[in-house]
Homo-oligomer: A and B are copies of this chain.
Amino acid sequence: MTDSFTFRLLATDGKARRGVVSMPRGQVRTPAFMPVGTAGTVKAMYLDQVRDLGSDIILGNTYHLMLRPGAERVARLGGLHEFARWPYPILTDSGGFQVMSLSQLRKLTETGVTFRSHIDGQRFEMTPERSIEIQGLLDSDIQMQLDECVALPAKPKEIERAMELSLRWAERCKTAFGEQPGKAMFGIVQGGDVAALRVRSAQALKAMDLKGYSIGGLAVGEPQAVMLDMLDATCPELPEEKPRYLMGVGTPDDILKSVARGVDMFDCVMPTRAGRHGLAYTRRGKINLKNARHADDPRPLDEESDCPAARDYSRAYLHHLVKSGEALGAMLLTWNNLSYYQKLMHDIRDAIEARAFVERSAEISEGWARGDLPAV
């Protein structure tokens, strides 16, 4: 255990990086996938299961938690780790993204954002300082600066304005965060789909000497190629000795291609959300359990998996659960999906250590391309 927040690079293979982020609550092996625990729960999972799958860290959403149960309440109850029974590292977003996508009647100024809760219409003000205060009340280990994330496509002028505002907010967040040796506050690179703006944002944040760097405003509707171009522009501008977190990304394929460009950390609702919609991520690609072809199929999703959800239950049973709207369907498919994502990260880390990332990536992609087993 460590008293401070550190990042160690253990190996590289091309631009792909194998490292470890250490903090008092534990170590995060990178490249890492962080399951999303929006409201203090990774949906349809016991957190023991999430841990057992190899998750070193989970993500909490500041916007959701500040509205319900409320940051001050979580603090009184001992913080988010105690509240949700997850004693390991937690990363929180700033709340900004969801304020812009979910809340009502929002108004953005230099100071911050005022908005009304999508739950009960209550009025809130979110400033860079308040975002850091809330994340502190939650006792988050890795906190995010408040930023403005513009939806793409957007005009370059608008992208630039939001990027510049985000830089000023990064300074305010850094000041508000102060010195907290065991914790980190990450800056967020913005700049939309304009490489030159991404570079300026990354350079300015680098000059602030933060403990880590997020890449935000991607996977917001643009083609994958645009996202990868932005990573190509951004990653070389970020310091080697700090972790890099690509926010809200993504599909297994997005992750492989982003690791190849030097990204260390990921979060995404896909494995959990897909699990509630009858979709399974597997080494043979994505499988839709709603499809009638599975109704009489006694085979499991993946007989070679270590995960009971993937290995022990027939597709016929999973199909039945999904068609019947049974909670166990979501429970098993979410379990399978997080298992697959964490297995993917495990394989990625192994491959980088073995300096075989390109070959292993190609094998994984070929498995997806071959697709599912023929129907019975």
Q: Which residues of A contact B (CB under 8 A)?
A: 39-41, 43-46, 68-69, 73, 76-78, 83-85, 295-296, 298, 312-314, 316-317, 319-321, 323-324, 326-328, 330-331
Contacts and interface: CB of A to CB of B under 8 A. Distances in A.
Contacts of A46: 328, 331
A83 B324 contact: no
A318 to B, nearest CB: 11
Contacts of A295: 69, 73
A78 B296 CA distance: 11
A295 to B, nearest CB: 7
A305 B19 CA distance: 42
What are the 5 A-B residue pairs with the smallest beta carbon separation, nearest first?
A: A44-B327, A69-B320, A41-B328, A41-B326, A39-B324
A62 to B, nearest CB: 15
A81 to B, nearest CB: 12
Contacts of A326: 39, 41, 43
Contacts of A73: 295-296, 316
A277 B119 CA distance: 20
A83 B312 CA distance: 10
A320 B39 CA distance: 9
B77 A323 contact: no
Contacts of A69: 295, 316, 319-320, 323
Contacts of A39: 320, 324, 326
A298 B44 contact: no
A322 to B, nearest CB: 11
Contacts of A84: 317
Given A73-B296, A326-B39, A320 B68 contact: yes
Contacts of A77: 296, 298, 314, 316-317
B313 A78 contact: no
Nearest to A332: B46
A117 to B, nearest CB: 13
Nearest to A324: B39
Nearest to A334: B327
18 contacts: A40-B320, A41-B321, A41-B328, A44-B331, A46-B328, A68-B320, A68-B323, A68-B324, A69-B295, A77-B314, A77-B316, A77-B317, A83-B314, A83-B316, A83-B320, A84-B317, A85-B313, A327-B327
Nearest to A276: B327
B78 A327 contact: no
Contact of A312 (B41, B43, B85, B324): B85
A317 B76 contact: no
A313 B47 CA distance: 12
Contact of A317 (B83, B312, B314, B324): B83
A293 to B, nearest CB: 14
Contacts of A83: 314, 316-317, 320
Contacts of A324: 39, 68
A40 B316 CA distance: 12
Contacts of A78: 298
